[in-house]
Chains A and B, each alone.
Chain A
Amino acid sequence: MKKSLLAVIVIFSLTIGLVLFAADHIDAPAVGSLSTGSTIADITDFYAFESPSNSDNYVFICNVSGLTAPSATADVSFDDDVMYEFNIDNDGDAVEDLVIQAIFRDNKVFTYGAVTPENTGLMSNIAVGNTKIETDISTYGSDPSVGSSGGVQIFAGPRDDPFFMDFFRFVDIVNGAGSALGLSVPDPMDGTAYPTAFKTDAVDTFAGTNVLSIVIEVPKSSLGSSTIFSSWVESKMK
């Protein structure tokens, strides 16, 4: 059924000839395309925000496997070979000083961190920290399973995709700029002219679709002593 949702988009995209999505849904062929769908390694969005329920805490969210149709959601699962790593830089050099890792085994998710990693950069090992937090991977249609210890809470499982955007209108507009530059771009969607404005009756391309989410809440104090920090997330394969 995910295929049927994708099929609609594929047909639509054939008319516009596009194979990429926003925010970063299906943003590159190695992790997902319209014909093959988004993979479990395809990061669709990254969020980092002060906890709405406790201002002493910070929340990190990594969403993957975008544009999953409701009827296909129960069949999408995390991969024991794919780790998600949240990186925290405290000193402004864009090198991670701390990491929070989410790893999957036997239908459970476990996390370590925030902890100083053994190595920085593109290759990571499991950063075994003082506290391992574990919980079941939540299943479609069930209440969220939350693991918690020492002020840290973790969740992994299917959720609504929180991203919202009229993506196809955006694409049509930007293709106009590409055409003006002489690039080979798809024809205008209405067959006559590229639009130069968004629609007042805009459509949220991501409405009604699901993602798999990893949500981790930690005390701000565990993220280092600096007031300002930077963060980014990676999917990493064994």
Chain B
Amino acid sequence: MKFNNIFYTFSMITLALLFSCNDDDVTIPEPMTNPPTVNISMNQNVEIATTVNIDGSATTGEGALSYNWNVTNPLGNNVALSNNTATMISFEVSIKGDYGITLMVTNDGGTEMKTGKVTVTNPSFATIDQMGRPAINTVFNFFGDAATKDGYNTTKPDGGNVDSELFKGILDALQGYIGLDPVTYRNVLGLDNATTASVLATDLLMSNKEFRTTYGPADLTDLRLGENLLNGRGLNDDVIDVTLILTFAGDLTSLSGLQQGLISDNVSDNDKTHSDQFPYLASPH
């Protein structure tokens, strides 16, 4: 019984200790696992239409780590990720604003989370050159100074790229120079210089989807504006001859010797042949 008493007393002491002390001191059977420390690295400011890479590989923790990414776009919608349990993710940003990033990493010790954001901007681009019809700035601003030429390149066609009086003055001068009367001049389309200038002063290329593209037809006796004349611009179109004909040829009847020498520059082809397959242009020299 004495033994029993001793055992009993010991048991009571143990129980007392058990109940009076912190669990940790006594009951944890295995070494403790700490939860992971989550780290993400990324570019926080990017331009729209770029691919963003976010790297979670600097996350540390004991044992096996499982990753779980979530990305929301500026509209609050989830972004589809090709693999949302990888250590690194990448996705394309297509909306301006803040993308929210969340990475949760789990191990035996628990789950830790890190959040971040990627701010997406859409940069502004300002016009420095523009072109619709061929040779307009070169021909019609021929006598213009640097500011005139630079200025023309940063205009837009809405309301006209230029005061058409300027263009009319050039037409008048060129025709007067070779003995034509610019006041009575009518081009092959029957247009006087003021009308021609007002058309050209809005510098865009017109296209009719239902007719094959030609800037000017081979057969000058069959002219249909917007169909086979000034309908788009193809690679083989002799745009300089068309421009010269409109400027100097009048209605193409009874051409003077001077007119005949001015309605073609006598270069009628490119030095290389174009392909009939995309991208059409000949390989470089």
Contact = CB atoms under 8 A, between A and B. Distances in A.
Contact of A61 (B128, B210, B281): B281
A20 B270 contact: no
A58 B231 CA distance: 12
A24 B157 contact: no
B282 A162 contact: yes
B134 A159 contact: no
Contacts of B141: 27
B285 A210 contact: yes
Given A43-B130, A210-B284, A29 B150 contact: yes
A149 to B, nearest CB: 14
A192 interface: no
Contacts of A203: 267
A200 B266 contact: yes
B267 A217 contact: no
B207 A103 contact: no
A198 B266 contact: yes
A78 to B, nearest CB: 14
Q: Report, nearest first, the 7 A-B pairs whose CB atoms are least far apart.
A: A197-B261, A28-B149, A236-B125, A232-B132, A49-B213, A202-B266, A155-B279
Contacts of A236: 125-128
A155 B275 CA distance: 14
Interface in B199-241: 202-210, 212-213, 226, 232-235, 238-240
Interface residues of A, number: 106
A196 interface: yes
B177 interface: yes
Contacts of B191: none
A236 B129 CA distance: 7
Interface residues of B, number: 84
A230 B235 contact: no
Contacts of A59: 278, 280
B140 to A, nearest CB: 11
Nearest to A56: B209
A155 B82 CA distance: 28
B29 interface: no
B190 to A, nearest CB: 20
A207 B206 contact: no
Contact of B204 (A70, A94, A201): A94
Contacts of B232: 47-50
B226 A164 contact: no
B278 A217 contact: yes
Contacts, number: 292
B278 A153 contact: yes
Contacts of B134: 22-24, 45-46
B149 A27 contact: yes
Nearest to B240: A165
14 contacts: A27-B137, A45-B131, A49-B235, A110-B49, A122-B154, A125-B125, A155-B278, A165-B240, A166-B266, A176-B177, A197-B262, A198-B262, A235-B128, A237-B128
A174 interface: yes
A174 B205 contact: no
Contact of A207 (B271, B281, B283): B271
Interface in A147-194: 153, 155, 158-160, 162-166, 169-170, 173-174, 176-178, 180-181, 183, 185
B279 A174 contact: no
B233 A174 contact: no
B187 to A, nearest CB: 17
B135 A204 contact: no
B276 A232 contact: no
Contacts of A227: 208-210
Nearest to B93: A128
Contacts of A144: 279
A126 interface: yes
Contact of A229 (B150, B209, B285): B209
